[in-house]
Amino acid sequence: MFRDLLVHVDGSQAGRQRVKFAIDLAERTGARLDGLHVTPPAEAPPRQKPSTLARVQRALEAELAADALAAEAIFRDETAKLLSGARWFQAAGDMAANVNARARCADLVVLGQYEWQDPPHRHPLPVANFVAMQCGRPVLVVPAGAPTTQPNRVAIAWDGGREVVRAVHDALPLLRLARTIDIMTIAGSPAAHHAGDGEELATHLAHHEVNASISQRRVVTRDDHGSLRKEVEAGRYDLLVMGGYSHPMWMEFVFGGATHSILLSSKTPVLVSH
């Protein structure tokens, strides 16, 4: 069960939507919600003229300070209307390191997806990747356009490996909220010989009071990672549960570049554990 949730907040509209998502989850699971904003270092872009460096630095510092104030205002505004007992925290420095530090006493970390339209000093690219791999807690990455209500249709990318086994059990409080769950077996993955046909997993979930309608299918092979993304988008799922794989081939799939990474490009919220 979830008892402590942590949501990273920025001053954008996506940040507000992410807070609403986390509030709804806290209400439905009875968890306490902590909000965190991390102000990254104000580093001027490279190739600045020496004569403009001080001015650019001051402008960046002002922009980051304004974002921190906006983030706090968003969190306090939304929680005051909908949730009591929420706590607010602020930090400065490396974003992933500060999120990891606060995540030590959280059951789930809610992060935003990297937003290409925002300047990199506000949304450093590797934050979700590093946090998922290092914090020791499940991470739920919420795209900017995701709905704020909790998942009814869930997909599990299942190969029987250690990482996805952990992800499924970390996701149990969310799976109990679902109406339908599709177990998508990844044939040909390094751990696929443990996957079976998903029947044991379905039985196990039923023993955990997961009352959703559960179906099984084989949708992806080791050499066709794009098919999983297509299946999830076509199925209009509300949540994808998957492992954060450390095998080099899967590192490119889950934590690779912008055109290959599920975390960076998925239109569906993704819960990942490592």
Q: Is 64:122 a contact under the CB 8 Å cutoff?
A: yes
Q: Which CATH architecture has domain 153-273?
A: 3-Layer(aba) Sandwich (3.40)
Global pTM reads 0.86
Nearest Cα to Cα of residue 263 among 238, 243, 235 = 243
Q: Rounded distance, CA 112 to CA 216, Å?
A: 29
Domain segments of the chain as ranges: 4-142, 153-273
Q: Evaluate whether 4-142 and 153-273 have a shared fold.
A: yes
- The CATH H-level (homologous superfamily) assignment of domain 4-142 is HUPs (3.40.50.620)
Residue burial 82-115, b: 16+ Cβ < 10 Å; e: rest: ebeebeeeebeebbbebbbebbeebbbbbbbbbe
Helical segments of 104-161, H only: 127-134
> Could you read off the pLDDT of 6-52 as tens digits, one per residue?
999 999 898 999 999 999 999 999 999 999 999 988 876 666 667 67
Q: Is 37:10 a contact under the CB 8 Å cutoff?
A: yes
Q: Is 267:233 a contact under the CB 8 Å cutoff?
A: yes
Average pLDDT score over the chain = 82
Looking at residue 194, its pLDDT comes to 54
Phi–psi pair at 40, nearest 5 degrees: -75, 165
> Could you read off the pLDDT of 69-125 as tens digits, one per residue?
999 999 999 999 888 899 999 999 999 999 999 999 999 999 988 665 566 656 655
* 127-134 helix and 95-103 helix, angle to the nearest 10 degrees: 40
Q: Is 22:7 a contact under the CB 8 Å cutoff?
A: yes
